[in-house]
Amino acid sequence: MSQQALLVMDVQQMIVDRYPDPAYLPRLREAIDTARAHGVPVIYVTVDFRPGAPEISPRNKMFGRLAGAPASAQANEIHPDVAPGPDDILVTKRRVSAFAGSDLDVVLRAKGIDHLVLTGIATSGVVLSTLRQAADLDFTLTVLSDGCLDNDPEVHGVLMEKVFPRQAEVTTVAEWVAAH
């Protein structure tokens, strides 16, 4: 029997604030509550850096502007509407993919997890990068299409309809909840 885990990626307050969708967090909360109720581990993945961000090269186009910047105390805070529970696992990554610079793979293997259910912000960022790397690591994958957000609806649609189905089952939060 496959052992699933729900990955809740990059739902930090400062990121959620850039994606105004009032229905998103309640929908994501429904997936989280369902996972917990059915014994599916919930793993929160956040992006964060040490003070001064020594992990960031100024050549990195996405994160380079943060190199040498002082760390923000709130930078890593998960949005309170979907806050982790006491039994949830927290993973810190250093790049876009949930696997990059984190111990996610070690945690998954230690818990015997072989099926990842992906949610997060942004579809074209953490979700895409994590899906590709997880597929290369032979995980079974499900993407909750409305459990992901992107600032570009067209990109979100192309990924969900054309790219992700090649490597994952794509479903909605409601369909996933109903299946549990």
| pLDDT tens by residue, 128-146 | 999 999 999 999 999 999 9
Higher pLDDT residue, 150 or 53? 150
Does residue 165 or residue 61 have the better pLDDT? 165
Return mean pLDDT, the chain: 91
- In this prediction, residue 64 carries a pLDDT of 58
**Per-residue confidence (pLDDT) for residue 50, from 0 to 100:** 75
State how far the alpha carbon of 143 is from the alpha carbons of 14, 50, 155, in Å.
Answer: 23, 30, 15
Strands of the sheet containing 140-149, edge to edge, are 89-93, 42-47, 4-9, 115-121, 140-149, 169-171
* Averaged pLDDT for residues 163-180: 97
C-alpha to C-alpha distance for 38 and 91, rounded to whole angstroms: 21
pLDDT of residue 63: 66
Task: Please identify which residue in the block is written with the tokens 């793993």.
Answer: 43
Which pLDDT tens digit goes with each residue over 38-75? Answer: 999 999 999 887 777 777 777 777 765 555 555 555 56
Q: What's the pLDDT score for residue 67?
A: 56
Rounded to an integer, the average pLDDT of 84-105 is 95
- The 10 Å Cβ neighbour count of residue 95 is 17
pLDDT reported for residue 68 = 55
- Alpha-carbon distance 30 to 176, whole Å? 10
The pTM of the full predicted model, rounded to 2 decimals, is 0.92
Regarding predicted confidence, which is higher, 33 or 47?
Answer: 33
Domains, the chain: 4-178 (3.40.50.850)
Confidence (pLDDT) at 57 = 73
Statement: residue 121 has pLDDT above 70: yes
Sign, CA dihedral 60-63-65-69, equals: negative
pLDDT for 120: 97
